[in-house]
Structure 1
Amino acid sequence: MQSSWYWKKIVAVKEKFKSFINAGQFTQLDYSIKKGYLLLCPPQTRVSWSNEIWGRLNVPNHSVILWLTRLDRLKAKQRLHKIRVIPDSSCLLCGQSEENIEHLFFKCPFSNRCIKSLKEKLGWRVKTEAIYPLLRWISKAKVSRFKKQVLAAFVAAGVYQVWKTRNEVLWFQ
């Protein structure tokens, strides 16, 4: 009989855990799930932008698109053109430049208007030219944690809406 994928993962985590601590130490410790998690995933392994992308106020769909954007993994036309999936890499929203992440979310006239409107509504005076510096600015801003979550949710929603609009244009072409 063959074990399931889930069972194999549980056994792998158990083996990893056993490599960090011996049974004698384990029985003497005041164990909690949090302590076990921190043992397996030390805080320094977290990326600095995870709170902004996976914030509790973010809609999950928005977070996924923002995450893919941050990792430069969205299937923008430049990426598809590079691997010869499509013949043309021009921006679907403006047709003025090659469609890559930077252009699509910051330099395209359409997204530029969206960002300008968003910044006016939020009273933002931050320079916006790329996702990573924007997320870093939010994480370092001297505002309350709740306001950081609101700002991150706005950014995630804005990125999602630009991507959704771009895909709607693609659909109706």
Structure 2
Amino acid sequence: MGPSILHKGHLHLEYHSTQASWIIWKILKARQYLENTLITRAEFLSQQNYSIKNMYNRLRGTYTKIQWKKLICNNQGSPKWLFILYLALQRKLYTKDRLIKLGRNYSPTCPLCEGADENIRHIFFLCPISALIWQKILHWQGISKPVPGWLEEQNWAKSNAAGNNSKAEIYRMPLAGCVYYLWQERNQRLFQNKKRTKDTMLGQIIQDIHYRGTPTSQLAKQFERLNFYP
């Protein structure tokens, strides 16, 4: 029994030695994190309460808040809608002005209205076709406001549709759907020579919005009220 007890004691000491080494290693590694925050030893020791959040923010550094993030992150729209909306918000869609700068031989005319040169601000929503469709979708939601340009619409959304209430969520979903279907229509007219009427596009957008939003319990009552075509 004696040797067995000694063996167990040896394992016990070895375990605590390993644990102590691991703790020391973690402490030394934490020193590197503190150095990265540029906090001095005196400043650290003078803190009355240690805050993990404050240390995390110092490690992360300053950054510019993305004003339109809730248009993407809190949106019940289809993933493909959100992808196109993201590209539009980032000004990464290959509109004709960008294609021409890349050396592509395209007419600069907007395929939707055929009355002005195409760029991101024109197609969302200075183009008469896109402006009319978005105006009717806003009216369908009960929102009465003029349809401005793309940057102005983002600024309005930041102030009026960034919350978690059902009205804000319903605004964000149609915005994503409208941007997606306008871009789809633009591509069909440009590359496939296919054209849909404004009423057909509007009906498709409203139908798909209902399909996406009605199963959501928080939005179901709102969609009962909006159960019509604008």
Per the normalisation by structure 1, the TM-score is 0.71
Contact 1:69 1:131 in 2 (8 A): no
CA distance in 1, matches of 2:66, 2:123: 24
Q: Residue type of the partner of 2:178?
A: G
* Counterpart position of 1:19: 36
Q: Residue type of the partner of 1:141?
A: N
- The alpha-carbon distance between structure 1 residues 40 and 169, as it changes in their structure 2 partners (threshold 3 A), is farther
1:155 aligns with 2:175: yes
1:166 aligns with 2:169: no
CA distance in 1, matches of 2:186, 2:60: 37
Structure 1 stretch displaced more, 135-144 or 94-103: 135-144
* Counterpart position of 1:77: 96
Which residue, out of 151, 155, 164, partners 1:145?
A: 164
1:55 aligns with 2:74: yes
CA distance in 2, matches of 1:142, 1:79: 30
Contiguous gaps of at least 5 residues in structure 2: 1-31, 194-230
Contact 1:57 1:149 in 2 (8 A): yes
- The alpha-carbon distance between structure 1 residues 49 and 170, as it changes in their structure 2 partners (threshold 3 A), is same
3-state SS of 1:45 partner: coil
1:5-16 correspondence to structure 2 within 5 Å: none
Cα deviation, residue 66, structure 1: 1.8
Q: Residue type of the partner of 1:123?
A: G
1:83-114 Cα shifts (integer Å, max 9, x gaps)? 32123111112221111112212122321221
3-state SS of 1:92 partner: coil
Per the normalisation by structure 2, the TM-score is 0.55
CA distance in 2, matches of 1:107, 1:127: 11
Contiguous gaps of at least 5 residues in structure 1: 1-14
Cα deviation, residue 142, structure 1: 8.0
CA distance in 2, matches of 1:93, 1:35: 50
* Counterpart position of 2:113: 94
% same residue: 24
CA distance in 2, matches of 1:153, 1:18: 44
Which fold has the larger relative contact order, with Cα–Cα distance below 8 Å and residues 6 or more apart in sequence? 1
Contact 2:96 2:119 in 1 (8 A): yes
CA distance in 2, matches of 1:165, 1:140: 29
Cα deviation, residue 42, structure 1: 5.9
* Counterpart position of 2:143: 124
3-state SS of 2:186 partner: helix
CA distance in 2, matches of 1:87, 1:54: 35
RMSD value, Cα? 3.1
Cα deviation, residue 60, structure 1: 2.6
Q: Residue type of the partner of 2:37?
A: F
Contact 2:135 2:147 in 1 (8 A): no
- The alpha-carbon distance between structure 1 residues 171 and 143, as it changes in their structure 2 partners (threshold 3 A), is closer
